[in-house]
Amino acid sequence: MQLQKDRMYDLDLTQDNIKGVLLDMFIGGTDTTKATIEWTMAELLKHPIAMKKVQEEVRNVLGKESKVEMEDISKMGYLKCVIKETLRLHPASPLLAPRRTSASVKLGGYDIPSDTTVLINAWAIHRDPEWWEKQEEFIPERFENSSIDFQGQDFHYIPFGFGRRACPGLPFGIASAEYAVANLLYWFDWKLPAGEDLDMNDVYGITLHMKTPLRVLPLSHVSF
Protein backbone atom coordinates (compact mmCIF):
# COMPACT_ATOMS: atom_id res chain seq x y z
CA MET A 1 0.00 0.00 0.00
CA GLN A 2 1.35 3.42 -0.93
CA LEU A 3 0.76 6.68 0.92
CA GLN A 4 0.95 10.04 -0.81
CA LYS A 5 3.15 12.62 0.81
CA ASP A 6 0.35 15.19 1.02
CA ARG A 7 -1.73 12.68 2.94
CA MET A 8 1.10 12.27 5.38
CA TYR A 9 1.12 15.97 6.06
CA ASP A 10 -2.68 16.05 6.42
CA LEU A 11 -2.39 13.42 9.15
CA ASP A 12 0.42 15.41 10.76
CA LEU A 13 2.61 12.33 11.12
CA THR A 14 5.81 14.19 11.89
CA GLN A 15 8.51 12.52 13.94
CA ASP A 16 7.90 14.87 16.87
CA ASN A 17 4.16 14.17 16.84
CA ILE A 18 4.71 10.42 16.73
CA LYS A 19 7.05 10.71 19.70
CA GLY A 20 4.43 12.78 21.51
CA VAL A 21 1.71 10.18 20.94
CA LEU A 22 4.00 7.38 22.13
CA LEU A 23 4.95 9.41 25.20
CA ASP A 24 1.28 10.04 26.03
CA MET A 25 0.57 6.32 25.68
CA PHE A 26 3.49 5.46 27.97
CA ILE A 27 2.44 7.99 30.63
CA GLY A 28 -1.17 6.84 30.47
CA GLY A 29 -0.12 3.20 30.74
CA THR A 30 2.12 3.97 33.71
CA ASP A 31 -0.69 5.71 35.59
CA THR A 32 -3.25 2.94 35.02
CA THR A 33 -0.70 0.24 35.89
CA LYS A 34 0.16 2.03 39.14
CA ALA A 35 -3.54 2.23 40.03
CA THR A 36 -4.04 -1.48 39.28
CA ILE A 37 -1.09 -2.50 41.46
CA GLU A 38 -2.38 -0.35 44.33
CA TRP A 39 -5.92 -1.75 44.09
CA THR A 40 -4.54 -5.31 43.90
CA MET A 41 -2.53 -4.93 47.09
CA ALA A 42 -5.47 -3.26 48.84
CA GLU A 43 -7.84 -6.10 47.93
CA LEU A 44 -5.31 -8.72 49.08
CA LEU A 45 -4.82 -6.94 52.40
CA LYS A 46 -8.59 -6.87 52.80
CA HIS A 47 -8.80 -10.59 51.98
CA PRO A 48 -6.02 -12.41 53.87
CA ILE A 49 -7.04 -15.87 52.61
CA ALA A 50 -6.51 -14.74 49.01
CA MET A 51 -3.28 -13.02 50.07
CA LYS A 52 -1.94 -16.24 51.60
CA LYS A 53 -3.00 -18.32 48.61
CA VAL A 54 -1.36 -16.08 46.00
CA GLN A 55 1.81 -15.60 48.08
CA GLU A 56 2.20 -19.35 48.48
CA GLU A 57 1.82 -19.80 44.73
CA VAL A 58 4.40 -17.11 43.89
CA ARG A 59 6.90 -18.42 46.43
CA ASN A 60 6.43 -22.05 45.41
CA VAL A 61 7.02 -21.19 41.76
CA LEU A 62 10.14 -19.14 42.50
CA GLY A 63 11.64 -21.27 45.23
CA LYS A 64 15.06 -19.79 46.09
CA GLU A 65 15.51 -17.81 42.88
CA SER A 66 17.14 -14.43 43.35
CA LYS A 67 14.66 -12.59 41.14
CA VAL A 68 11.35 -12.95 39.34
CA GLU A 69 11.62 -13.74 35.63
CA MET A 70 8.82 -13.05 33.17
CA GLU A 71 8.59 -16.75 32.26
CA ASP A 72 7.82 -17.49 35.93
CA ILE A 73 4.61 -15.44 35.68
CA SER A 74 3.11 -17.90 33.18
CA LYS A 75 3.12 -20.53 35.97
CA MET A 76 1.20 -18.30 38.41
CA GLY A 77 -2.40 -19.04 37.50
CA TYR A 78 -3.93 -17.72 40.71
CA LEU A 79 -1.97 -14.46 40.45
CA LYS A 80 -3.51 -13.94 37.02
CA CYS A 81 -6.96 -14.54 38.54
CA VAL A 82 -6.21 -11.95 41.23
CA ILE A 83 -5.28 -9.34 38.61
CA LYS A 84 -8.39 -10.14 36.56
CA GLU A 85 -10.67 -9.82 39.59
CA THR A 86 -9.00 -6.56 40.60
CA LEU A 87 -9.66 -5.13 37.13
CA ARG A 88 -13.25 -6.34 37.29
CA LEU A 89 -13.94 -4.41 40.47
CA HIS A 90 -11.58 -1.53 39.75
CA PRO A 91 -11.15 -1.05 35.99
CA ALA A 92 -8.30 1.38 35.47
CA SER A 93 -10.32 3.38 32.90
CA PRO A 94 -13.91 3.04 34.14
CA LEU A 95 -15.56 4.86 31.21
CA LEU A 96 -13.24 3.53 28.48
CA ALA A 97 -12.49 5.63 25.40
CA PRO A 98 -15.38 7.72 23.97
CA ARG A 99 -17.16 6.31 20.96
CA ARG A 100 -19.51 7.81 18.38
CA THR A 101 -22.57 6.18 16.84
CA SER A 102 -22.41 5.75 13.06
CA ALA A 103 -26.21 5.33 12.72
CA SER A 104 -29.39 5.85 14.74
CA VAL A 105 -30.14 2.98 17.09
CA LYS A 106 -32.68 2.01 19.76
CA LEU A 107 -31.03 0.53 22.84
CA GLY A 108 -32.60 -0.29 26.18
CA GLY A 109 -35.73 1.66 25.26
CA TYR A 110 -33.76 4.77 24.32
CA ASP A 111 -33.46 6.31 20.87
CA ILE A 112 -29.84 7.26 20.23
CA PRO A 113 -29.27 9.46 17.15
CA SER A 114 -26.34 8.97 14.82
CA ASP A 115 -23.15 10.94 15.46
CA THR A 116 -23.73 10.81 19.23
CA THR A 117 -20.78 10.56 21.61
CA VAL A 118 -21.18 7.46 23.79
CA LEU A 119 -19.36 6.63 27.02
CA ILE A 120 -19.38 2.98 28.07
CA ASN A 121 -19.37 2.40 31.83
CA ALA A 122 -17.13 -0.63 32.28
CA TRP A 123 -17.29 -0.19 36.07
CA ALA A 124 -21.07 -0.75 36.05
CA ILE A 125 -20.91 -3.59 33.50
CA HIS A 126 -18.39 -5.44 35.67
CA ARG A 127 -20.80 -5.29 38.61
CA ASP A 128 -23.94 -6.27 36.71
CA PRO A 129 -25.72 -9.01 38.71
CA GLU A 130 -27.09 -10.50 35.48
CA TRP A 131 -23.54 -11.54 34.60
CA TRP A 132 -21.73 -11.87 37.91
CA GLU A 133 -22.61 -13.77 41.07
CA LYS A 134 -21.76 -11.92 44.29
CA GLN A 135 -20.75 -9.08 42.03
CA GLU A 136 -19.56 -6.76 44.81
CA GLU A 137 -17.22 -9.33 46.34
CA PHE A 138 -13.54 -9.93 45.57
CA ILE A 139 -13.44 -13.57 44.42
CA PRO A 140 -10.42 -14.37 42.19
CA GLU A 141 -11.56 -17.99 42.00
CA ARG A 142 -14.35 -16.96 39.62
CA PHE A 143 -11.71 -16.78 36.88
CA GLU A 144 -10.23 -20.22 37.53
CA ASN A 145 -10.96 -22.59 34.63
CA SER A 146 -12.64 -19.69 32.84
CA SER A 147 -12.16 -18.64 29.23
CA ILE A 148 -12.85 -14.97 30.03
CA ASP A 149 -9.84 -12.85 29.14
CA PHE A 150 -8.83 -9.25 28.40
CA GLN A 151 -9.29 -9.35 24.63
CA GLY A 152 -12.74 -7.72 24.55
CA GLN A 153 -14.58 -10.81 23.30
CA ASP A 154 -16.60 -11.13 26.52
CA PHE A 155 -18.67 -7.96 26.62
CA HIS A 156 -19.41 -8.26 30.34
CA TYR A 157 -15.65 -8.02 31.03
CA ILE A 158 -13.97 -5.17 29.18
CA PRO A 159 -11.32 -3.50 31.39
CA PHE A 160 -9.29 -2.64 28.26
CA GLY A 161 -12.22 -1.94 25.97
CA PHE A 162 -13.06 -3.88 22.82
CA GLY A 163 -12.94 -3.67 19.07
CA ARG A 164 -10.80 -1.12 17.25
CA ARG A 165 -10.86 1.24 20.23
CA ALA A 166 -9.41 -1.32 22.63
CA CYS A 167 -6.42 -0.15 24.64
CA PRO A 168 -3.21 -0.70 22.64
CA GLY A 169 -1.24 -0.90 25.88
CA LEU A 170 -2.99 -4.09 27.07
CA PRO A 171 0.06 -6.42 26.89
CA PHE A 172 2.33 -3.83 28.54
CA GLY A 173 -0.18 -3.04 31.29
CA ILE A 174 -0.93 -6.65 32.23
CA ALA A 175 2.70 -7.78 32.10
CA SER A 176 3.83 -4.81 34.20
CA ALA A 177 1.12 -5.31 36.84
CA GLU A 178 1.69 -9.07 37.12
CA TYR A 179 5.47 -8.65 37.36
CA ALA A 180 5.28 -5.90 39.98
CA VAL A 181 2.75 -7.71 42.16
CA ALA A 182 4.69 -10.98 41.94
CA ASN A 183 7.80 -9.19 43.20
CA LEU A 184 5.93 -7.47 46.02
CA LEU A 185 4.42 -10.76 47.17
CA TYR A 186 7.65 -12.74 46.85
CA TRP A 187 10.01 -10.43 48.71
CA PHE A 188 7.76 -9.07 51.44
CA ASP A 189 4.92 -9.80 53.79
CA TRP A 190 2.55 -6.86 54.18
CA LYS A 191 0.43 -5.33 56.92
CA LEU A 192 -1.37 -2.09 57.63
CA PRO A 193 0.17 0.43 60.03
CA ALA A 194 -1.16 0.11 63.58
CA GLY A 195 -4.52 1.76 64.01
CA GLU A 196 -5.16 2.29 60.29
CA ASP A 197 -8.00 0.82 58.27
CA LEU A 198 -8.36 0.31 54.54
CA ASP A 199 -10.35 2.97 52.72
CA MET A 200 -11.67 1.22 49.61
CA ASN A 201 -13.49 4.28 48.29
CA ASP A 202 -12.43 5.46 44.87
CA VAL A 203 -12.04 8.75 43.02
CA TYR A 204 -13.43 8.90 39.50
CA GLY A 205 -11.39 10.40 36.72
CA ILE A 206 -9.75 9.22 33.53
CA THR A 207 -8.07 6.66 35.79
CA LEU A 208 -9.79 5.08 38.79
CA HIS A 209 -7.63 5.77 41.86
CA MET A 210 -8.07 5.04 45.55
CA LYS A 211 -9.51 8.03 47.39
CA THR A 212 -7.00 7.53 50.20
CA PRO A 213 -3.57 6.35 48.96
CA LEU A 214 -2.64 2.91 50.30
CA ARG A 215 -0.18 2.93 53.22
CA VAL A 216 1.38 -0.41 54.15
CA LEU A 217 4.34 -1.79 56.06
CA PRO A 218 6.66 -4.26 54.26
CA LEU A 219 8.22 -7.06 56.28
CA SER A 220 11.19 -8.70 54.59
CA HIS A 221 10.50 -12.35 53.78
CA VAL A 222 13.43 -13.48 51.62
CA SER A 223 17.10 -13.15 52.49
CA PHE A 224 20.19 -14.51 50.72
Q: Tell me the pLDDT tens digit for each residue of 85-121.
A: 999 999 988 888 888 888 998 888 889 999 999 888 9
Confidence of residue 222 (pLDDT cuts 50, 70, 90): low
Alpha-carbon torsion, ordered 215, 83, 64, 145, to 10 deg: 150
The confidence score (pLDDT) of residue 49 equals: 97
Global confidence as pTM: 0.82
Which position has the higher pLDDT, 17 or 142? 142
CATH superfamily of 23-220: Cytochrome P450 (1.10.630.10)
The C-alpha angle 43, 203, 155, rounded to 5 degrees, equals 70
Please report the pLDDT score of residue 203 as a whole number.
87
Q: Which of 143, 162, 165 is nearest to 153 (CA)?
A: 162
Higher pLDDT: 160 or 205? It is 160
**Residue 107 DSSP SS3:** strand
Alpha carbon distance 77, 54 (integer Å)? 9
Residue from 50, 45, 4, 33 nearest 214 by CA: 45
- Helix (H) or strand (E) holding 203, with range, is strand 202-203
Burial of 139 (0-12, 13-18, 19+ CB in 10 A): middle
**Mean pLDDT across the chain:** 84
